[in-house]
Amino acid sequence: MQRYRNWYAKLLRFYPRAYRERFGEGMEQTFNDLCRERAGGGLFCLVLWTFSETSAAIIRENAIMIVRCSMNRGSTIFLRVVISLIAIGALAVCIFPLPRMFAREAAKTPDTAYLVYFFLGGAYVLAIPFFFGLYQTFKLLSYIDGDKAFTELSVRALRHIKYSAITAGILMVAGIAAIMVLSAGTGEDIAGVVMVGLIMTLASSVVAAVAAVLQKQVQKAIAIKSERL
Amino acid sequence: MTYIRDGYSVRGVQKDKSHTPLTPAVLHILLALSTQERHGYGIMKEVESDSEGKVKMGPGTLYGSIGRMIDAGLIRESDKRVDPDIDDERRIYYKITALGQATLAAELERYREVVAIAKKKQFAWNSLAYGV
């Protein structure tokens, strides 16, 4: 039981500092009381439930705090600059090195050049959800700055981010599958390409999951706000 | 001033609608604190027994709501003392404020009005079977 208590204390560190200082001790005590009550049986289920419930609350409190801070200072400017730089960088890659790289590959294997161009097309299709997701993130940040963080607008932006991440992930998986099928029996070394693809798939899954959780928490926060508490 | 209606009375309390409607969590916490001061775990247990186990509140929801309720002036920290029924650790007790009582009264009044409307419309629970 002591182990669970230590884990819970560690989990509480993810709360905003002010909140933790205010309620951390009480929450730990309450968790200990709950554990003691269930010491006879069902402790594991209780721990699992409490951890997930508290994690959701941590995300919510952090989101509320970030929004409060950024409304005071307009600190989303930094994030907006970062997103703009990512977008510009990705656009530059799409325009210059990407076609050149594919053209070089195609020149190496003229017989299967059409396949190389097929994948180049795929990369540009993949860029659509990527840029759309970035644009929606940019929009979300401007909502936060404009005091519209907990509105249906940001829920919509988060939903769009989630869907574009899912779309990117699906495209990536399809691309990996296509590479594996096409290279089967040719003896080509595709481990590197597949690895990069898998990492990018993982990244888009993480983005989708975070957007989904945030969307739910913002919806909850809207409910709290509309009911005034 | 005594406020009496339909056999329900709250002494010395005026209705305050500025915070209603309340979230279920806030309503349950106010109800739990309406009879006596309690600490976090005490509130959780009271809510569970009040609702016959239907409402289960985790520490995240509980303390999130407590924070917002303190900020809104509905409850306040009472003092830090030992609960002899549990152990010898000192716990913070929470207490309902006059504004909290007034808000609870207004919320219960609102619920009563809603139920009265439903009764007037002769709403029967089995009508749910028709997909209402």
Residue of B nearest to A49 (CA): B58
Q: Which of A33, A60, A224 has its CB closest to that of B41?
A: A33
- Would the pLDDT of A224 be above 80? no
**Cβ under 8 Å to A: B residues 48-107:** 58-69, 72, 74, 86, 89, 91-92
Please list every residue in chain B whose beta carbon sits closer than 8 Å to the beta carbon of residue A23: 63, 66-67
Q: Is the torsion defined by CA of B36, B42, B44, B47 positive or negative?
A: negative
Model-level pTM greater than 0.90?
no
CA B75 to chain centre: 11
| Cβ contact, residue pair A27, B59, below 8 Å | yes
* Count of Cβ atoms closer than 10 Å to residue B75 Cβ: 23
* Count of Cβ atoms closer than 10 Å to residue B96 Cβ: 24
DSSP secondary-structure letter at A12? H
List, as one string, the DSSP characters of chain B. -EEEETTEEEET-----TTPSPPHHHHHHHHHHTTS-EEHHHHHHHHHHHTTTS----HHHHHHHHHHHHHHTSEEEEEEEE-TTT-S-EEEEEEE-HHHHHHHHHHHHHHHHHHHHHHHTT--GGGGGGT-
Beta bridge partners of B76: B95
| Cβ contact, residue pair B60, A56, below 8 Å | yes
Average pLDDT, chain B: 82
Return d(Cα B61, Cα A59) in angstroms, integer.
12
* Count of Cβ atoms closer than 10 Å to residue A55 Cβ: 14
Q: How far is A105 from chain B (nearest CA, A)?
A: 55
List, as one string, the DSSP characters of B53-73. TS----HHHHHHHHHHHHHHT
List, as one string, the DSSP characters of A120-159. HHHHHHHHHHHHHHHHHHHHHHHHHHTT-TTSHHHHHHHH
Average pLDDT, chain A: 86
- Would the pLDDT of B11 be above 50? no
| Cβ contact, residue pair B41, A58, below 8 Å | no
B5: confidence class by pLDDT, cuts 50, 70, 90 = very low
A140-182 pLDDT, tens digit per residue, is 888 887 777 888 888 999 999 999 999 999 999 999 998 888 8
Q: Which of A33, A56, A229 has its CB closest to that of B19?
A: A229
Structure-token pair, residue A2: 């002591």
Pairing between β-strand B38-39 and β-strand B75-82 as defined by DSSP bridges? unpaired
B87-131 pLDDT, tens digit per residue, is 778 899 999 999 999 999 999 999 999 999 988 887 666 555 555
Question: A146: which residues sit within 8 A by CB, 6+ positions away?
Answer: none
